[in-house]
Amino acid sequence: MSNGVSTESIPLYVKQPKVYPREVKGRFARLRVIAAWSLLGLYYVLPWISINGQQIVLFDLVNRQFHIFGITLWPQDLIILSLLLAMAALTLFFFTALAGRLWCGYACPQTVWTEVFLWMERVTEGRRNKRMKLDQGPWNKEKIARKSAKQFLWITFALWTGFTFVGFFVPIRDLGLRLVEFNLGGWETFWLFFYAFATYGNAGYLREQVCKYMCPYARFQSAMFDDDSLVISYDVNRGEPRGPRKKSADRAELGLGDCIDCLGCVQVCPTGIDIRDGLQIECIACAACIDVCDDVMDRMGYPRGLIRYTTENAMAGKPTRILRPRIFIYLAALLALATLVGLVLTGRDPLLVDVLRDRTALHRVTEQTLENPYTLKLSNRTDRDLSVSIGVESEALSGLRIIDPTDSVIIAPSEVANQPLTIGMPIDRARVGMHEITIIATDAAGNILNETETRFFIPARALE
Amino acid sequence: MTRADLDIPPRPLAQRLGAILWPSFFAAGVATMVFFAIVDPLMLRDMTFPELELSRMAGYTIGFFLFWAATAASSLFTWLLLRPASRFNRRMQ
């Protein structure tokens, strides 16, 4: 130790004390259960719903199309997807400014799946004290049986989760059939296990460590917070000095506050903190401590809300302003984005038309007619068959007509059809030059699907 | 104790792994989405390794993991640079 450098060994892996959250009942626990059921329901059921044989949510990577509730997005619609993601982020900001970490406590997949895994742990290993005892105890028959049962539930559920995940990218019914036949593709199998493993690890083992060490939201949320944001807080003025007492005791006489120091709030906390130490970055605002404390207050005959949803301003005895510039700015940005998405979505042509000029023969002359050949690339961007008729208009030229195709063309959903197109005009009306023309695609009912500009070429030698 | 002497105790393994793997995973996901929205994996294959039989799914998967390898390497490098000198000095006694 002469050089002053400590030589004591420092373990590379500092083990975190395991958190054993106690089960909790109450208003907010009920809300969390409802949220978990709705969100997990959406996740596990949505891919199985099809309308007209089309899975309503399918990110069909193999065919490079996203189907979302009847809207088909193509790679060139990336802007819509980006706008939707920006909207999701702004919604998160808005709710954070308004009501704190609602997302963390009720909707984050990490929270929701952890709760399901905790529930399975409770079913197989028992309540908090029993779980702690089981972990400390020797590996006897009961421990092996309970731990195996838990692992069986966890792994089955994780694999099902992984399967569902792949089902958002590959049609799930077909995937299910092939799963039963043990006939999954290599990449499908890989992603199924990858996602299953991530779920198992995150919800089974990492749990609160994901929120504490891995989640960036927990770190930058303070940017959206202010003294008017809802937070979960312990009322220090009311609670302190804390201390145990009999229910019959007069707390004023004992000089005690309302907190009986039962540690209920610490035991139920999924991230293992003591809310009485103040607002902490680890708090995911699940409100479990509110539920358990309200219950204790009821039993003591004290008013509820020693721990409650409140704002920093309210705690300091100042008025809370809900409608403040921050809220309006987030809301305005959100509305602007939503309008933009709506405009982009409705402005999309149901049919995408690319007009390619025929490079080998720009024009052709028959007895009475001068013709220009083209190739049309028609992409049906809807989820139904399109019957497309092609027409042509021009301000510069008169007498233009479609020579081929004369009939309408049927294009299947999401199909890209190559359609030869020949436009002709009477040779006696032709004037030399490159003339602007408009190709108009209409559906069977005569509605215009798409208008595309191109050129009609009349060289001097054609008129000689 | 001066500020220069302040030494942060080593962080838990889960925290180190999480701080390196998770942000890089997220960044790789976004990069993959943007990249493959513009580039069709089949086109990319024809331009690079036309003799290989790679499906689109394979292309997306390989692309994602290449991105993740790059972003995770960067995160790892950042972590190494942020480690206090004491972590390195301690080993040389």
Instruction: Flag whether B56 is in a domain.
Output: yes
d(CA A312, CA A325) in angstroms, rounded, equals 17
What is the number of domains present in chain A? Answer: 2
pLDDT band at A35 (very low <50, low <70, confident <90, very high): very high
User: CA-CA distances (angstroms) from residue A146 to A46, A97, A152, A202?
Assistant: 33, 43, 10, 21
| Chain B interface includes A66 (CB < 8 A) | no
Same domain, A356 and A459: yes
Range of the domain at A437: 351-463
pLDDT band at A217 (very low <50, low <70, confident <90, very high): confident
Same domain, A292 and A381: no
β-partners of residue A310 are A231
What are the chain A neighbours of B89 within 8 Å (beta carbons)?
A: 5
For residue B38, the distance in angstroms to the closest alpha carbon of chain A comes to 7
The residue out of A315, A340, A375 marking a domain boundary is A315
Instruction: Flag whether A75 is in a domain.
Output: no
Does the distance separating the beta carbons of B60 and A61 come in below 8 Å? yes
Same domain, A367 and A458: yes
**For the whole model, what pTM was predicted?**
0.77
| Chain A interface includes B57 (CB < 8 A) | yes
Range of the domain at B44: 15-82
Residue B45: predicted pLDDT:
85
* ipTM score assigned to the predicted complex: 0.72
Average pLDDT score over chain A: 87
Instruction: Flag whether A251 is in a domain.
Output: yes
Q: What is the largest CA-CA distance in chain B?
A: 65
What are the chain B neighbours of A191 within 8 Å (beta carbons)?
A: 61
| Closest Cβ opposite residue B18 in set A11, A61, A214 | A214
Residue B3: predicted pLDDT:
55
- Give the chain A residue whose CA is nearest to the CA of B20: A214
Instruction: Flag whether A189 is in a domain.
Output: no
Instruction: Flag whether B88 is in a domain.
Output: no
Instruction: Flag whether B51 is in a domain.
Output: yes
| Chain B interface includes A209 (CB < 8 A) | yes
pLDDT reading at B87 higher than 90:
no
For residue A390, the distance in angstroms to the closest alpha carbon of chain B comes to 29
For residue A341, the distance in angstroms to the closest alpha carbon of chain B comes to 18
Same domain, A287 and A386: no
pLDDT reading at A9 higher than 70:
no
Task: Quote the percentage of chain A above a pLDDT of 90.
Answer: 39
Instruction: Flag whether A325 is in a domain.
Output: no
Instruction: Flag whether A416 is in a domain.
Output: yes
Q: Which residue has the higher pLDDT, A15 or A216?
A: A216
Residue A6: predicted pLDDT:
46
Residue A99: predicted pLDDT:
84
In this structure, what CATH number is given to the domain that contains residue A445? 2.60.40.10
Q: What is the pLDDT of residues A387-415, one digit of tens each?
A: 999 999 988 888 888 988 888 889 887 77
Same domain, A250 and A304: yes
| Chain A interface includes B48 (CB < 8 A) | no
Instruction: Flag whether A6 is in a domain.
Output: no
| Closest Cβ opposite residue A12 in set B13, B22, B89 | B13
Does the distance separating the beta carbons of B18 and A210 come in below 8 Å? yes
Q: What is the mean pLDDT of residues A359-374?
A: 81
Task: Quote the percentage of chain A above a pLDDT of 70.
Answer: 96
- The structure tokens listed for A194 are 């990858």
Does the distance separating the beta carbons of A188 and B93 come in below 8 Å? no
Instruction: Flag whether B44 is in a domain.
Output: yes
Of A135, A105, A134, A128, which is closest to residue A23 (Cα–Cα)?
A128
d(CA A230, CA A310) in angstroms, rounded, equals 5
CB A243 within 8 A of CB A112: no
| Chain A interface includes B23 (CB < 8 A) | yes
Does the distance separating the beta carbons of B60 and A14 come in below 8 Å? no
What are the chain A neighbours of B18 within 8 Å (beta carbons)?
A: 206, 209-210, 213-214
Instruction: Flag whether B4 is in a domain.
Output: no
Residue A7: predicted pLDDT:
47
Does the distance separating the beta carbons of B55 and A213 come in below 8 Å? no
Residue A154: predicted pLDDT:
96
Instruction: Flag whether A254 is in a domain.
Output: yes
pLDDT band at A3 (very low <50, low <70, confident <90, very high): very low
**3-state SS string for chain A:** CCCCCCCCCCCCCCCCCCCCCCCCCCHHHHHHHHHHHHHHHHHHHHHHCEECCEECEEEECCCCEEEECCEEECHHHHHHHHHHHHHHHHHHHHHHHHHCCHHHHHHCHHHHHHHHHHHHHHHHHCCHHHHHHHHHCCCCHHHHHHHHHHHHHHHHHHHHHHHHHHHCCCCHHHHHHHHHCCCCCHHHHHHHHHHHHHHHHHHHHHCHHHHHHHCHHHHHHHHCCCCCCCEEEECHHHHCCCCCCCCCCCHHHHCCCCCCCCCHHHHHCCCCCCHHHCCCCCCCCCCHHHHHHHHHHHHHCCCCCCEEEECHHHHCCCCCCCCCHHHHHHHHHHHHHHHHHHHHHHHCCCEEEEEEECCCCCCEECCCEEEEEEEEEEEECCCCCEEEEEEEECCCCCCCEEEECCCCEEECCCCEEEEEEEEEEEHHHCCCEEEEEEEEEECCCCCEEEEEEEEEEECHHHHC
Same domain, A360 and A433: yes
Q: Give the range among A176-190, A359-373, A440-454 with minimum mean pLDDT.
A: A359-373
Instruction: Flag whether B2 is in a domain.
Output: no
What is the number of domains present in chain B? Answer: 1
Q: What is the pLDDT of residues A121-130, one digit of tens each?
A: 999 999 888 9
Instruction: Flag whether B59 is in a domain.
Output: yes
CB A170 within 8 A of CB A191: no
| Chain B interface includes A461 (CB < 8 A) | no
For residue A243, the distance in angstroms to the closest alpha carbon of chain B comes to 34
Q: Give the range among A152-156, A190-194, A214-218 with minimum mean pLDDT.
A: A214-218
Q: Within 13 Å and on the Cβ side, how many CA atoms surround A163? A: 20
Q: What is the mean pLDDT of residues B12-27?
A: 87
Q: What is the mean pLDDT of residues A129-140?
A: 90
Select the residue from A77, A184, A214 to test the B interface by mutation, using most B Cβ atoms within 10 A.
Answer: A214
pLDDT reading at B1 higher than 60:
no
Of A283, A135, A309, A275, which is closest to residue A208 (Cα–Cα)?
A283
Omega before B50 within 30 of 0, i.e. cis: no
Q: What is the pLDDT of residues A288-329, one digit of tens each?
A: 999 999 999 999 989 999 999 988 888 888 888 888 888 899
* Among A residues 80-119, those touching chain B with beta carbons less than 8 Å apart: 81
- Give the chain A residue whose CA is nearest to the CA of B9: A10
Residue B91: predicted pLDDT:
53
Residue A18: predicted pLDDT:
81
* Among B residues 63-82, those touching chain A with beta carbons less than 8 Å apart: none
Select the residue from B11, B61, B62 to test the A interface by mutation, using most A Cβ atoms within 10 A.
Answer: B61
Chain mean position to CA A185: 26
Does the distance separating the beta carbons of A187 and B58 come in below 8 Å? yes
Of B64, B36, B44, B29, which is closest to residue A61 (Cα–Cα)?
B36
Handedness of CA B72, B73, B76, B78 (dihedral sign): negative
Chains A and B: how many Cβ contacts under 8 Å?
71
Q: Which residue has the higher pLDDT, A225 or A285?
A: A285
What are the chain A neighbours of B55 within 8 Å (beta carbons)?
A: 62, 185, 187
What are the chain A neighbours of B10 within 8 Å (beta carbons)?
A: 10-12, 14
For residue A83, the distance in angstroms to the closest alpha carbon of chain B comes to 13
Same domain, A374 and A282: no
